[in-house]
């Protein structure tokens, strides 16, 4: 296990999260190394719970969570957790903002919360905002922006500290098709140096941007593999999309059915 922790940014062992008495995540084992990882699954499968535990926002009910080699679970120390949090970027599924803030102030405020070097903040804020394509709106009030633009401000605050681990929960929600294409290019670029984990229910996001896929169903890992392997599960590419969707959508359905059949046999 020491060899895997040396390679991986994220190591999760027997992670269990309970919501009241229901197990939202059930003894999950996962490793993530630098690259772009897709987290797929039906709504309510436990994707958001996993992202929130990895973001050090929610406490696991059981198991170990190691980020950059330090434990961040309930028993972890303040110092090591603060050190981990400085290297995190997190886009929650839902977030608010202060009504008076401009885009620049919002992103700079998060940079301050992440304890970035004050001298580096102005340039880092401009770069992050430019990377999400909002350079022309940097001094606009956040409340005047459209839903898709607010989403992009959320991505800008997540990447402002150049995070080593970037957690994005449904990042493409509210983005139009052209913005999605630009966003996927951005996360591929970020994934060349950091570990990017993208939770989504859109199979095409994964196909276009992720090197591998983790399929979660009802709190368990249903499938892990590269994007190509999942596509191959969908069978021959007939060129046109059939009634069951394109190959990766068929692969997704096939993997999900195989997992459900395996669970039913148990």
Partner 1 sequence: MRGGDGMTHWHVGGELAERYAAGSVAETDAWSLEKHVETCGGCAARVSAAVRARQEAVVLLDGVRAGVLAAVAAGEAPESGPVRSNQVRFLASATGAVLNGRVRLPGSATRAGRLLWAAGPALRGAWLLALVLVAVGALALAYGAGLGAATRPLLLVIAPVLPLAGVVVSYGRHTDPLHEITAATPSGGLRLLLTRTAAVLGVSIPALTLAGAALPASAAGPGPAAWLLPGLAMTLAALALGSYVGCRTGASSVAVAWAAAVLLPAFATSPLEIGKPAAEAAKYFAGPAAQGGWAAGALVCAALLAARRRSFDHLETL
CB of 156 to partner 1, least distance (A): 12
Task: Using the minimum distance from each CB to partner 1, give the nearer residue, 100 or 239.
Answer: 100
Task: Using the minimum distance from each CB to partner 1, give the nearer residue, 71 or 229.
Answer: 71
CB of 105 to partner 1, least distance (A): 5
Answer for the pair 35, 191: CB distance below 8 angstroms, yes or no: yes
Q: Which residue has the tokens 């102005």?
A: 122
Task: Using the minimum distance from each CB to partner 1, give the nearer residue, 65 or 230.
Answer: 65
Task: Using the minimum distance from each CB to partner 1, give the nearer residue, 23 or 202.
Answer: 23
Q: Give me the DSSP letters along 153-173.
A: HHHHHHHTT--SEEEEESTTT
Q: How far is CA 172 from CA 50, 84, 154, 175, 204, in A?
A: 18, 26, 11, 5, 11
Task: Using the minimum distance from each CB to partner 1, give the nearer residue, 118 or 262.
Answer: 118
CB of 17 to partner 1, least distance (A): 7
CB of 239 to partner 1, least distance (A): 27
Answer for the pair 199, 47: CB distance below 8 angstroms, yes or no: yes
Nearest to 230 by CA among 39, 13, 34: 39
Q: Which residue has the tokens 């999260």?
A: 17
Cα gap 251→137, rounded to integer Å: 40
CB neighbour list of residue 262: distance below 8 Å, 6 or more residues apart: none
The site for partner 1 (CB under 8 A) is made up of: 17-20, 24, 55-59, 61, 73-74, 78, 81-83, 85-86, 88, 90, 92, 94-98, 101, 104-105, 108-115, 117-127, 130-131, 133, 135-136, 157, 162, 178, 182, 185
CB of 261 to partner 1, least distance (A): 30
Cα gap 106→207, rounded to integer Å: 32
CB of 78 to partner 1, least distance (A): 5
- The token duo for 242 is 């059939």
Task: Using the minimum distance from each CB to partner 1, give the nearer residue, 119 or 261.
Answer: 119
CB of 102 to partner 1, least distance (A): 9
Task: Using the minimum distance from each CB to partner 1, give the nearer residue, 8 or 161.
Answer: 161
- Per DSSP, the three-state class of 33 is coil
């Amino acid at each position: 296990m020491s060899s895997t922790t040396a390679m991986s940014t994220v190591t999760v062992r027997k992670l269990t999260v309970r919501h009241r008495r229901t197990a939202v995540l059930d003894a999950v084992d996962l490793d993530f190394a630098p690259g772009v990882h897709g987290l797929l699954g039906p709504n309510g499968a436990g994707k958001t719970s996993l992202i929130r535990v990895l973001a050090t926002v929610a406490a696991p009910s059981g198991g170990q969570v190691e980020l950059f080699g330090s434990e961040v679970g309930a028993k972890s120390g303040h110092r090591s957790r603060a050190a981990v949090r400085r290297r995190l970027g997190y886009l929650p599924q839902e977030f608010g903002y202060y009504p008076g803030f401009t885009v620049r102030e919002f992103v700079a405020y998060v940079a301050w919360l992440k304890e970035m070097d004050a001298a580096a903040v102005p340039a880092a804020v401009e770069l992050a905002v430019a990377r999400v394509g909002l350079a022309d709106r940097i001094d606009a009030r956040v409340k005047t922006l459209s839903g898709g633009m607010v989403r992009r401000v959320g991505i800008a605050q997540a990447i402002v500290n150049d995070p080593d681990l970037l957690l994005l929960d449904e990042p493409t929600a509210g983005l139009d098709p052209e913005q999605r294409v630009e966003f996927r290019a951005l996360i591929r670029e970020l994934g060349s140096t950091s570990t990017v984990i993208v939770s989504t229910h859109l199979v095409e996001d994964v196909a276009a941007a992720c090197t591998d896929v983790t399929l979660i169903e009802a709190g368990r890992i249903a499938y892990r593999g590269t994007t190509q392997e999942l596509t191959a599960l969908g069978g021959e590419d007939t060129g046109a999309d059939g009634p069951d969707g394109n190959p990766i959508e068929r692969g997704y359905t096939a993997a999900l059915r195989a997992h459900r059949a395996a669970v039913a046999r148990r």
